[in-house]
A and B are shown apart, each in its own frame.
Chain A
Amino acid sequence: MLLNRDDWYDISRDLDWELSYVDPAVAFPTSWSGAGDVPKDAWDKWDEPFRVSYRDYVRIQREKESGVKAVSSALVRSGTYEKLDPAHVAASHLHMGTTCMVEHMAVTMQSRFCRFAPTPRWRNLGVFGMLDETRHAQLDLRFSHDLLKQDPRFDWSQKAFHTKEWGVLAVKNFFDDAMLNADCVEAALATSLTVEHGFTNVQFVALAADAMAAGDINWSNLLSSIQTDEARHAQQGFPTLSILMEHDPARAQKALDVAFWRSTRLFQTLTGPAMDYYTPLDQRKMSFKEFMLEWIVNHHERILEDYGLKKPWYWDQFLYSLENGHHAMHLGTWFWRPTLFWKPNAGVSKDERDWLREKYPTWEENWGVMWDEIIKNVNDDRIEDTLPDTLPALCNLTQLPLGSAFSRHDLADHSMTYKGRLYHFDSEISKWCFEQDPERYAGHQNFIDRFIDGQILPADLAGGLLYMGLTPDVMGDDVYDYAWAKDYLPSKPAPAEESVEREPISI
């Protein structure tokens, strides 16, 4: 008779022993484990919130895989893709290119947990984390591979992280920092807790709902299945947070405050435009701001407060950024569309604009004014004035355009000189993040730094596109070929009734 899992579970996971041949500090360097000043026996209290055996894991994941594969196989054959709105499809190009390789990076992060986490229970869970993230990367690759015949942009699922496309550089920079440059403790706080427990829901739940409404059952199903794993392994962050709050709460607060802002900026870039501009209007389930308020503010932050954390010091600015940041990123990515590997929808037809005004009362004043200028140029056949001749100035922390966290009225110089070099930041908050650990970031060159350093040749926009690996078959342009701008053309006057000269009736 087999034992129940709970009869043997505790024995199976407490696999530590007293090292007698190696100094524990050498076997588990604190620069990797992140244990810091937390005493060794404090980690004995680390207790995972979910229990899984390898046998259970394989059984459950196998069932999930069968389901996903069946849906995917049926839909790829069904011709569903061809019927999808191209504006929505762009969101999946963007997702695959910016997310697939992050899943792969997470395999490495989880493997670090396996080797260096300061408790064997956590090291044990890292195994399942590695398997999860391997699954996610492979699912994305299989999904994209099936669709290569439809659009070469799906090649960017694998290719993107081997290019220097500016958006990809921003994503890589963040995850290099939060996953690979971080010790186990910081990675648990920045990635498991902040990104996985909090922010991924915006992309994998909210956007998945929009995708389902758009008829993209294959992608929606994929995202939802991935998220079932995420919701499980993200829980690794909580026992770590518990121990930090008892022994080093200031460290936990700072790590979370940095990760929270950087996550906000990232998801403003990836999910904000997708939800509020690419998803066809009648298929939008909720706005980006509404979902962020419900999920990040009401749910995620409340849970963190239960652990004794305070809201980040910049909380009011964060709320203000929810009104503006993703609108800035959308306007910027649309205007600089040749630098993208997907085709953005402008999303400012009159009906779409009504929706934006309703959801964001300051939209017209902050963004509409600029779109009006663009619309005028489109309708006057001056497309060249809706395209860039130079690069936007970029933040040395987030790699995103300066000012793109807030509105044009808030745009200000947030810069500092560190060891003789000038650094620019997209906000006071990003500058604060840099100041917490300048040596961590100071050596990095953003795209603009590389440009003026002569690394991008020729030193013009064409050279920039070459450097970014953007080929004509993937380069972005307006997804509807500017058809939406016709909404704003003056309506033709109704033809006047023809006057007919009546001949007198002759009798």
Chain B
Amino acid sequence: MAPFPITGRFVGDFVPVLVAVDTDDTWDQIARKVAAHSVGRRVPKPEVSPGYDVLVDGTVMTSDATLGELLGTRTIPPLQWVDVRFREQVGSNG
């Protein structure tokens, strides 16, 4: 359990921001921390939230996995760029 600074960008906003997360945070918790600085402030808040996806270097992270687990597999430097977006809905036909 340790604080970790990331460069959090919410897709649709015009600037990424400094976000203090914790290595024990799940990606879902990290998504909410990043989204809080953009959604409802500069990015319209949807009526019903579809949830969030988190991407690190273009790879979608598993929601309930933690940052700490990723740190165990590769080097993530402080201020790593992390993308958060509204979860993309899978289209249904008919």
Binding site for B on A (CB under 8 A): 328, 331-332, 335, 367, 369-370, 372-374, 377, 385-386, 388-393, 401-404, 407-408, 411, 413, 415, 417, 421-422, 424, 448, 451-452
Contact = CB atoms under 8 A, between A and B. Distances in A.
Contacts of B44: 369, 372-373
Interface in B16-38: 16-20, 36-37
A401 B13 CA distance: 12
Contact of A335 (B18, B42, B77): B42
A408 B17 contact: no
A403 B14 contact: yes
B78 A422 contact: yes
A372 B78 CA distance: 33
B48 interface: no
A452 B78 contact: yes
A389 B8 CA distance: 13
A404 B41 contact: no
B15 A392 contact: yes
A411 B79 contact: no
A407 B14 contact: yes
Nearest to A331: B14
Interface of B: 5, 7, 9, 12-20, 36-37, 40-44, 77-81
A393 B7 contact: yes
A122 B50 CA distance: 66
B71 to A, nearest CB: 15
B81 A373 contact: no
Contacts of B20: 390
Contacts of B78: 422, 452
A386 B42 CA distance: 8
Contact of A386 (B13, B16, B41, B81): B41
A391 B80 CA distance: 15
Contacts of B77: 417, 421-422
A480 B40 CA distance: 23
A460 to B, nearest CB: 10
Question: Which residue of B7, B15, B44 has the most chain A CB atoms within 10 A of its CB atom?
Answer: B15
Contact of B15 (A367, A372, A402): A402
A74 B63 CA distance: 68
B23 to A, nearest CB: 15
B40 A411 contact: no
A386 B40 CA distance: 9
A390 B15 contact: no
Question: Which residue of B5, B7, B42, B78 has the most chain A CB atoms within 10 A of its CB atom?
Answer: B42
A370 B12 CA distance: 9
A408 B36 contact: no
Given A370-B42, A404-B15, A389 B81 contact: no
Nearest to A414: B81
Nearest to A406: B14
B43 A392 contact: no
